[in-house]
Amino acid sequence: MRYILSLDEGTTSARAALYNREGHRLAMASVPIPCRYPQPGWVEQDAAQIWTAQLDAMRRTLAEIDAQPQEIAAVGITNQRETTVVWDRRTGAPIAPAIVWQCRRTAERCRTLAASAEAARVTAKTGLVIDAYFSGSKVEWILDHTPGARERAAAGDLLFGNIDTWLIWNLTAGSTHVTDPTNASRTMLMDLATGDWDDELLALFGIPRAMLPRIVPSSGICGQMAATVLGVEIPIAGIAGDQQAALAGQACFRPGLSKNTYGTGCFALLHTGGERPVSRHRLLGTRAANLGGGAQFAVEGSIFIAGAAVQWLRDKVGLIESAPETEQIAQSVAHTGGVYLVPAFVGLGAPHWDAEARASLTGMTLSTGRAELVRATLESMAYQTRELVQAMEADSGAPLEELRVDGGAAQNNFLMQFQADMLGCPVVRPRDSETTALGAAYLAGLAVGYWSSVEEVESFWQAERVFTPSMAAAEREALWAGWQAAVARTRSQGC
Ligand code: ADP
């Protein structure tokens, strides 16, 4: 067996990658997936399109190096989390568009729930802040707004899954309906401590247990890819939500290690080992991938819009032609001149959790031009990350020693340097920044003995570049104060 195959279904694209025993990526292909925005704040995708894009990416990856399916030891799956699909158990057809994690359509419902008597118990059980981000209210919405869905769900005809579950269901020709604790911990339906679906939470959202996938370990054989897909059966042996997969791909398997991913959104995770975290600063308690032993936990800060703001500059404002060019444009000016973009396009995530806030651009003068706006957009990712890191430090009582980074926008050297300056600690970018796909490969490879131990995969991690802070403290804090004022102006009333 020569390879591990990783399927990485992100928000903007489905990717696949092949790895060898040294943990080197030999091939990778990507197929874009469109999003629809049918109403302000709503975000949808077509689940059938996600599946075909993933198949396409997988086939292209194999073709890139002429890899034979029988040479693949195992498959690992990683996915955009929380995105919700409900489908018919018999036909396999989705009954509604997939509701994407960023979608705010259930914000009102979540606000009511957050103000209710149950709120404290929901948060205590799940580790989550009550927000439209998580799957529970999205499943409820589909059941409430699709004619006949409640009856079909009660009769056991409908299945729910996040994208991991949806892909595995299709890869196994409808024979396997599973998820793992990292994905399940984002549904608001799982008890974080026990790792099982919780009847009280299910009742709260009116979701029958029969709709839910079985929760299996993140690393372990959970099914076989059907021979109809690639011609041979291949074990599916790893599952993790994208951010937890990235944590594994950054070799953060031990308490105290942390990473930040700069993709569509930004997600900082700090591994807390076997100890369930309780955040006092509005971060989330979540599951980290379990490697066969007991439950593993992490504390997480989630920012909804990071690289997506760069996409917005490109696609809606037309200020840039491509994301990478933002690096040079930002560097062409020494500062933004007091301009701040607070990218609350779909509200604000951690630590504010303000679903009603909307993006703002403040501090402009007649000398503000394209470069300042581009720079302010990049800087907004670094400021938002500092908010998360400060909350983590306040929770743990220990300063962050370094931040391991990955994701599309981590390739931006201006942003990474500004990030190190804003945090006052080193920012370390690994050689292979496709850590999400890599993490899923590790989980699958460890499960089938392709790699022998966690220590072995830890030894693969190598830094490509370290960004060390160089900004004077006074300048840093002045910029930071400006950001905080801009956020205060952006927050919705009453918060
Ligand atoms: P996802 O997995 O969420 O689909 P990726 O990790 O592929 O996202 O990152 C893509 C995001 O990063 C896009 O939103 C894009 O605008 C942004 N991005 C990609 N390259 C750069 C860059 N060089 N500078 C700034 N932003 C970038």
Contact 229/55 with Cβ under 8 angstroms? yes
Q: Which residue is associated with the tokens 């292909």?
A: 29
State the closest ligand 1 atom to the C-alpha of 8, by its place in the atom list counted from 1: 2
245 C-alpha to center of ligand 1: Å? 17
Residue 166 belongs to a domain: yes
**Mean per-residue pLDDT for 398-418?**
93
Residue 172 belongs to a domain: yes
Q: Return the percentage of the chain with pLDDT > 90, whole number.
A: 87
Task: Please report which confidence band the pLDDT of residue 495 belongs to, taking 50, 70 and 90 as the band edges.
Answer: very low
Peptide bond into 351 cis (omega under 30): yes
Task: Please report which confidence band the pLDDT of residue 494 belongs to, taking 50, 70 and 90 as the band edges.
Answer: very low
Q: Is 412 close to ligand 1, i.e. is its CB under 6 Å away?
A: yes
Q: Is 413 close to ligand 1, i.e. is its CB under 6 Å away?
A: no
Residue 367 belongs to a domain: no
**Mean per-residue pLDDT for 350-355?**
89
187 CB-near residues (< 8 Å, 6+ apart): 82, 134, 135, 136, 139, 162
Minimum mean pLDDT range among 193-197, 271-275, 488-492:
271-275
474: β partners:
none
Which residue range forms the structural domain that includes residue 136?
A: 3-243
Q: Return the percentage of the chain with pLDDT > 70, whole number.
A: 99
Q: Is 35 close to ligand 1, i.e. is its CB under 6 Å away?
A: no
Residue 364 belongs to a domain: no
Residue nearest to atom 13 of ligand 1 (CA): 307
Q: Which two tokens stand for residue 91?
A: 């036909």
C-alpha 490/C-alpha 461 separation (Å) is: 40
**Residue-level pLDDT at 256:** 83
**Mean per-residue pLDDT for 87-98?**
97
**Mean per-residue pLDDT for 13-32?**
96
412 C-alpha to center of ligand 1: Å? 9
117 C-alpha to center of ligand 1: Å? 40
- DSSP annotation of 67: -
**How many domains is the chain partitioned into structurally?**
1
309 C-alpha to center of ligand 1: Å? 9
Q: Tens digit of pLDDT for each residue in 450-483? A: 999 999 999 999 999 999 999 999 999 999 999 9
Element (H, E) at 319: none
C-alpha 77/C-alpha 208 separation (Å) is: 26
Q: 303 phi and psi, to 5 degrees?
A: -115, 130
**Mean per-residue pLDDT for 221-232?**
96
**Mean per-residue pLDDT for 56-83?**
97
184 C-alpha to center of ligand 1: Å? 26
Q: Has residue 493 got a pLDDT over 90?
A: no
Q: Which two tokens stand for residue 78?
A: 């990683």
Q: Is 323 close to ligand 1, i.e. is its CB under 6 Å away?
A: yes
Q: Is 264 close to ligand 1, i.e. is its CB under 6 Å away?
A: yes
**Mean per-residue pLDDT for 65-73?**
96
Residue 21 belongs to a domain: yes
State the closest ligand 1 atom to the C-alpha of 308, by its place in the atom list counted from 1: 14
**Mean per-residue pLDDT for 288-312?**
91
**Residue-level pLDDT at 293:** 77
Pocket test for ligand 1, best of 45, 243, 264 (most atoms within 8 A of CB): 264
Residue nearest to atom 1 of ligand 1 (CA): 263
Q: What is the chain's mean pLDDT, rounded? A: 95
Task: Please report which confidence band the pLDDT of residue 257 belongs to, taking 50, 70 and 90 as the band edges.
Answer: confident
Residue 255 belongs to a domain: no
Q: Tens digit of pLDDT for each residue in 141-187? A: 999 999 999 999 999 999 999 999 999 999 999 999 999 999 999 99
Q: Tens digit of pLDDT for each residue in 178-206? A: 999 999 999 999 999 999 999 999 999 99
Which CATH number fits the domain that encloses residue 147? 3.30.420.40
